[in-house]
Chains A and B, each alone.
Chain A
Amino acid sequence: MAYSTDADEIFPTLQQIVSDTLRVPIEQVTRESALSDLGMVESIKLLRVAGKIERRFDIELDDSLFFQGVSMGRLVDEIAAQRAAAVSGEAA
């Protein structure tokens, strides 16, 4: 199942994963919100989000990214970058 590396596709999927895992209404997960803004986030929940993203997009992410209060927008860029690398890696 090819993944588009286009950021507009990635964000809705990321929104769904974060909303399901942290049990936060999806409309409150905006591009600017950082995970710690979303309330009651614990390290285990953060890593669970990371695990689901990695499984869903078939990529590896640097975990510390999740602990530095980065925004959803930044995560989308990181996922897009890893996907692009993976796709070009496969193509090479």
Chain B
Amino acid sequence: MSTSPEPAVPLPTTVTLLDGLFTYAAERHPAQLIGSTDPARALPFARLEHDGVAVAAALLERGVRRGTPVVFPAGDAADFFPVLNAIVSVGAIAVPVSARAGRNPASAARLRHIVEDCEAALILADDDAVPVLREVLPDVPTHPLSALLAAARTTGVPATAPPGLRPADRNPEDLALIQYTSGSTSRPRGVALTHRNVLAALRIIPAALRPHATDVISHWLPLSHDLGLFGTLASLGCGIRICLSQPRDFIKQPDAWLAASCEAGATILVGPDFFYQYLVEAVPADEVTRYDLSGVRMALNGAEPIDPAGLDLFARHFAPAGFRREAQLPCYGLAEATLPVSFDSPLRPPAVDWVDRAALNDALKAVPAGTGGRGIVNCGTPAPGVEVRVTAEGETLPERSVGEIEIRGEAVTAGYYRESEPSARPGGWRGTGDLGYFADGCLHITGRSKEILILAGQNHYPQDIEDAVREAPGLFRRSAVAVVLPADPGAGLPERIGVFAEVASEGPHTATVTAIRRTAAEVLGGASVDVVLLPALGISRTTSGKFQRLLMRKRLLEGTLDNALAHITAAEVLTAPGTGPGGAPSHG
């Protein structure tokens, strides 16, 4: 008689503040481990509470006051969670940012906008980012995180709790955390989350997924990103073993990461769609049997559009390693919902809705069609505690009609931090900016209403590329615009950024194209872009002189852009122009 596995213990309703999660996890699962797949290098849950209280005392000494935002890097778990615990324990607001923030000019600029937007009272940063930040943000105190942690760990937990530590009059409606994943670089938008929002999400996730006490989750997602952060916090609440790696370590050696995860007995994997495609590329077919994926119960796929063909390819590629198709679990979530919106059922393989492409694009209707149409992955039913509807002009649409997805619920943010005008809609509904439809009660995402390019889980905005490439040599009056171009599978091109640039001189324009390509690559973390060269004033403008980006995009895609001088796609190899000794890039 096979005993069914024991369900994980749900987080009790008595926990109403985020620091309470760490206190509870330390009491209920003190020896459970978080961190490296190697148990010897992982950390017991109890340590996150112990170090957290010590760091909280150190923050109070540094004069951190209640209700003030504290910016800190999302490095490894041993540092990140005690600091998160400490910040909320003193009633301040945690603002996690990428671990790479401030290390180079581009990321320092983004961080400056975030710090100014939330009027941060303190920045904690990695040692090599501190000098850059003190220069870029002279009037905001910046402390090396390592020194704070070292001091806290040596002095340890104060004998008598300092008065500012977890004052009794705190309220679940107080702000706990601001998530800066929305908005462009120059106009970041911080999703403001209360303790109540966060704790609601940490209960919704296990209610939807029903983890077992013996589950082991393994991922490498940045803790400054909602999927990584709240997936991990929910796991802490359930008391399951958490294997965490740094994004860099996974991306550099994906096969080693997969082997370590199997070794640690991983039963839950989670990551954006590119994570699964990347593993297929990293593990040659004749090496698949070296891995044992038979124990994987759930392979959550979210945070990015999901490629139907990619799901099938992954399942077939790793079948010899015992991977079961039923484990593939498409889901949909976003920062504005803290994280969870919908999850596909773990009891059956993922489903794809094949619809007529023209009806979808033109009539905004999802009309079933053969596999020759467009495949939209089924992202399952709304999680318990999250209301979802599809609307157009405020009207709720019937099934199979495409509109904007709106959400409502205890885990949904009330608005962006210090937003100028309220972004919530009547009845407490919140627009997600994502487009989709319901079919048989299941959510299907078809695109985004606003121009965003998501690359490897990172949001990129055409505006950021435009600002960067305007300095390229040879441009006519710095005139260049950027748009998101759809994938062109025929030409082997993924979704990417396209830059329309006006050039003054006759040509050749190799230096201009190379400079645009290299500058854009720095903003896009290496990705290359299409470049369309046009004569002076070749970019169409409105009567008021505003660039008409979408018109240029439409004409390019329709092939009616007859004044284009050249169109160099992102895949084309550039022969490096005479770049002088040492191969230094020509743009200096």
B526 near A43 with CB under 8 A, answer: yes
Question: A59 to nearest B CB, angstroms?
Answer: 13
Query: A69 vs B586: C-alpha distance in the bound complex, in angstroms?
Result: 10
Most chain A CB atoms below 10 A, which of B274, B493, B494, B518: B518
Q: Is the CB of B251 within 8 A of A48?
A: yes
Q: Given the complex, which residues of A lie within 8 Å of B528, measured CB to CB?
A: 36, 39-41
1/0 per residue, CB under 8 A from B, across A14-50: the answer is 0000000000100010111111111111111111101
Chain B neighbourhood of A73, CB < 8 A: 582-583
CA distance A51 to B98 in the complex (A): 21
B553 within 8 Å of A by Cβ? no
Q: Is B517 an interface residue (CB 8 A)?
A: yes
Taken together as a complex, chains A and B put the C-alpha atoms of A51 and B250 apart, in Å, by 9
What separation, in Å, do the CA atoms of A85 and B525 have in the docked complex?
Answer: 29
Find out whether the CB atom of B573 lies under 8 angstroms from the CB atom of A74.
no
A40 to B493, Cβ gap below 8 A? yes
Residue from A30, A38, A40, A54 having most chain B Cβ neighbours under 10 A: A40
Q: State A73–B582 Cα separation when bound (angstroms).
A: 6
CA distance A71 to B574 in the complex (A): 13
Question: With the chains together, A31 CA to B583 CA distance in Å?
Answer: 7
Complex interface: chain B residues within 8 A of A31 (CB)? 583
CA distance A40 to B487 in the complex (A): 12
A-contacting residues, B492-538, CB 8 Å = 493-494, 514, 517-518, 521-522, 524-528
Q: Closest CB-CB distance, B357 to chain A, in whole Å?
A: 25
- Which of B248, B455, B458, B579 has the most A CB atoms < 10 Å from its CB? B579
Contact B582 A74 (CB under 8 A): yes
- Identify the closest chain A residue to B527 (Cβ): A42
Task: Flag whether B570 is at the interface (Cβ < 8 A).
Answer: yes
| Complex-state Cα separation, A44 to B274, whole angstroms | 9
CB distance A47 to B251 under 8 Å? yes
Interface residue A57 (Cβ < 8 Å from any Cβ of B):
no
Among A37, A48, A51, contact of B574 (Cβ-Cβ < 8 Å): A37
A88 proximal to B (CB < 8 A): no
Q: Does B161 contact A (CB under 8 A)?
A: no
Q: Are B526's CB and A51's CB within 8 A?
A: no
B104 interface residue per 8 A CB criterion: yes
Query: Is A28 within 8 A of B583, CB to CB?
Result: no
0 or 1 for each of B123-144: is its CB under 8 Å from A? (1 = yes):
0000000000000000000000
Q: Report the bound CA distance from A47 to B249 in whole Å.
A: 9
Asked whether any CB of chain B lies closer than 8 Å to the CB of A72, the reply is: yes
* A41 CB contacts on chain B under 8 angstroms: 521, 526-528
Which of A35, A54, A55 meets B526, CB within 8 Å? A35
State whether the Cβ of B359 lies closer than 8 Å to any Cβ in chain A.
Answer: no
> Would you call A67 and B525 a contact (CB within 8 A)?
yes
Q: Is the CB of B253 within 8 A of A51?
A: yes
- B151 interface residue per 8 A CB criterion: no
- On chain B, the residues within 8 Å of A45 by CB distance are 526
Q: State A72–B574 Cα separation when bound (angstroms).
A: 14
**Could you tell me the distance in whole angstroms from the C-beta of A69 to the nearest C-beta in chain B?**
4
The answer to whether A36 and B573 touch across the interface, beta carbons within 8 angstroms, is: no
Which residues of A in the span 38-92 have a Cβ within 8 Å of any Cβ on B? 38-48, 50-51, 54-55, 63-64, 66-74
Q: Does B40 contact A (CB under 8 A)?
A: no
B573 contacts which chain A residues (CB < 8 A)? 24, 28, 33, 37-39
**B493 CB → nearest A CB, Å:** 7
Q: Return chain A residues, CB-CB under 8 Å to B274.
A: 44
> B152 to chain A: closest CB distance in Å?
29
Nearest CB of chain B from residue A67's CB, rounded to whole Å: 6
The reply to whether A36 and B456 contact each other, CB–CB distance below 8 Å, is no
Contact B252 A71, beta carbon cutoff 8 Å: no
Sorted nearest first, the 10 A-B pairs with minimum C-beta distance are A71-B583, A51-B252, A43-B525, A36-B521, A32-B576, A69-B518, A73-B583, A43-B526, A47-B251, A46-B526
**Interface contacts beyond A41-B527, A67-B522, A71-B584: sample of 15 additional A-B pairs, CB < 8 Å, sorted by A:** A32-B576, A32-B583, A34-B518, A36-B521, A37-B576, A38-B573, A40-B571, A42-B527, A46-B525, A47-B251, A48-B251, A48-B282, A54-B252, A66-B526, A68-B104
Q: Which residues of B does A touch, CB under 8 Å?
A: 103-104, 248, 251-254, 274, 278, 282, 455-456, 458, 493-494, 514, 517-518, 521-522, 524-528, 569-576, 579, 582-585
A-B contact pairs, 9 of them (CB 8 A): A30-B576, A32-B576, A36-B518, A37-B574, A39-B572, A42-B455, A47-B251, A70-B585, A71-B579
